[in-house]
Amino acid sequence: MPERAKNIGQVLRKARKSRGLTQADIAPTLGVSRSAVAQMENGKRAVKAEDIDRLALLYGCSTSELLSSEYHSGTPRENIVLGELLAALPELREDEKHFSFLQVLRVARMLTRVESALGFEAIANVLPTYTETRTETSWHAARQGYRASEDERRRLALGESPIRFVDELVTAMGVRTARARLPRGVNSIFANYPEIGCLVVVDEDASVGRRRFSYAHGLAHALFDRHLPWRVCGTDAEMDFQEVRANAFASGFLLPEHGVRRYLETLGKETLGRSGPAVLSVYFEGDHGSEGGDNLRIDGRAREGRHPINLSDLTLIAHYYGATRTLTAHRLRNLRLLNDEQIERFERMMRSDAGRRAEKTLALKAEPYETDYLRSRLAALTAEAHNRELIDRDAFSNFADVAGVPERDRSRLLALSKL
């Protein structure tokens, strides 16, 4: 058995198992039988370059990661990763439709250079690191995501309140955020290498609610998956454990359990006993400090507030937390406040004219909930670097071009940074 083929096979087997897939699962992707996949992993069948490309796309990683034990090159790693990303998604190449994505990368590169000139630490260093435990089921992955969302909310002292500007919060945590037009089926792209820092690019054609979810989703990859140079996050129904975990994190991060419950109660809706019998048991101790005790059973079937959650409630919660109504509905189901039948009814209603007009009917003003923080930060730091004489006028003009600052506003920008 050739040693090289054996090593490649071992890497491919490890990559497949880490994503919870069987040989039969990936065989259709390669256009071969399950036994042929087994031969590849045992080093008894040649692995073609196109096989590696297809598996990298399936796993949402780079080809160099799949061939890490064989990969050697004198080319800078960040250029290799970018080349692989563009090779995996040829639609992102510099054409008219997806030019904005490459513009985002240029802004991120310039920002890295300015931060280096100003003596900033690498932006990714401020992030906490979550050690990835062994994940064998989607259930475990989801629980990891929900638990991490609670931990991060506590660490950031967010309490149970809404996050008004998710993109700015994520940026303040050390993950750059940006919008660009992405190929169909791609919600966001997570990238992490020195030249651009840790970056999440979301689809600018998606709704604001979906983009906010994608920012939080990308934050999860930054917390758990920083060992990956890049990852494409799409709309495939069958997701690996990393995507399940990131989706769970985003849901819990945007819609905290106790906050959602309390907000529902302000709308006059009972949340405590909705998922089961409306009976409480209140314990009290026995006499004379004995170990014994008893409990008082309280029947709440006649309590006020146990009314069905309606479309108005759903719309108000979604608006308050800046989430889509679909995400909010499924979060309520996970909290056992809605059932499958109610979810289906809401989905039908949201597709109707009444559902589409709900926010306007309730006089809910649309909020932007989003900024172009990547370019704003580049513009501000470029002016700061110029005023400290760390870059000359030509460099300032070049950086200002990339940041999108018009020539007529550049003198004002320099003056503003001195105030």
In this structure, what DSSP letter does residue 336 have? T
Q: How many CA atoms lie within 13 A of 226 on its CB side?
A: 19
Q: How confident is the model at residue 238 (pLDDT cuts 50, 70, 90)?
A: low
Highest mean pLDDT among 58-62, 88-92, 196-200: 196-200
Q: Find how far residue 213's CA is from the centre of its chain.
A: 6
Quick: pLDDT tens for 108-149.
Answer: 888 888 888 887 764 445 688 887 666 778 899 999 999 999
Instruction: Say what the pLDDT of residue 212 is.
Output: 94
Tell whether the model's pLDDT for residue 66 goes beyond 60. yes
How many whole angstroms separate alpha carbon 318 and alpha carbon 82? 36
Instruction: Say what the pLDDT of residue 277 is.
Output: 56
How many whole angstroms separate alpha carbon 126 and alpha carbon 156? 13
Contact indicator for 392, 382 with CB cutoff of 8 Å: no
Of 97-101, 200-204, 409-413, give the lowest mean pLDDT range. Answer: 97-101
Of 39-43, 87-91, 219-223, 297-301, give the lowest mean pLDDT range. Answer: 297-301
Considering only residues 125 and 246, tell me which one the structure prediction assigns the higher pLDDT. Answer: 246
Instruction: Say what the pLDDT of residue 135 is.
Output: 73
Structure tokens at 342: 């109610």
As beta bridge partners, residue 186 has 234
Of 248-252, 266-270, 296-300, 348-352, give the lowest mean pLDDT range. Answer: 296-300
Report the phi/psi class of residue 238: left, alpha or beta, with left for phi > 0 and alpha for psi in -120 to 50.
beta
Q: How confident is the model at residue 376 (pLDDT cuts 50, 70, 90)?
A: confident
Tell whether the model's pLDDT for residue 82 goes beyond 80. no
Structure tokens at 317: 């919660």
Provide, rounded to the nearest whole percent, the portion of the chain with pLDDT above 70: 75
How many whole angstroms separate alpha carbon 302 and alpha carbon 110? 64
Helix (H, G, I), strand (E, B), or coil: what is residue 188? strand
Dihedral of alpha carbons 234, 239, 240, 246, sign: positive
Q: Find how far residue 151's CA is from the centre of its chain.
A: 16
Instruction: Say what the pLDDT of residue 98 is.
Output: 58
The whole-chain average pLDDT of the chain stands at 80
Structure tokens at 123: 């932006």
In this structure, what DSSP letter does residue 382 have? H
Instruction: Say what the pLDDT of residue 73 is.
Output: 38
Quick: pLDDT tens for 147-189.
Answer: 999 999 999 999 999 998 999 999 888 899 999 888 888 899 9
Q: How confident is the model at residue 75 (pLDDT cuts 50, 70, 90)?
A: very low
Q: How many CA atoms lie within 13 A of 81 on its CB side?
A: 23
Q: How confident is the model at residue 20 (pLDDT cuts 50, 70, 90)?
A: low
User: Residue range 388-406: average pLDDT?
Assistant: 84
Tell whether the model's pLDDT for residue 278 goes beyond 80. no
Instruction: Say what the pLDDT of residue 359 is.
Output: 78
Considering only residues 344 and 133, tell me which one the structure prediction assigns the higher pLDDT. Answer: 344
Instruction: Say what the pLDDT of residue 4 is.
Output: 61
Q: Write the CA distances from 370 to 145, 154, 163, 179, 380, integer angstroms.
A: 24, 23, 11, 10, 18
As beta bridge partners, residue 190 has 200, 231
Strands, E assignment, 224-373: 230-234, 279-285, 293-299
User: Residue range 312-321: average pLDDT?
Assistant: 91
Instruction: Say what the pLDDT of residue 407 is.
Output: 85
Contact indicator for 297, 280 with CB cutoff of 8 Å: yes
Helix (H, G, I), strand (E, B), or coil: what is residue 203? strand
User: Residue range 227-238: average pLDDT?
Assistant: 77
User: Residue range 279-299: average pLDDT?
Assistant: 65
Residue 142, exposed/middle/buried by CB under 10 A (0-12, 13-18, 19+)?
A: buried
Q: Find how far residue 197's CA is from the centre of its chain.
A: 16
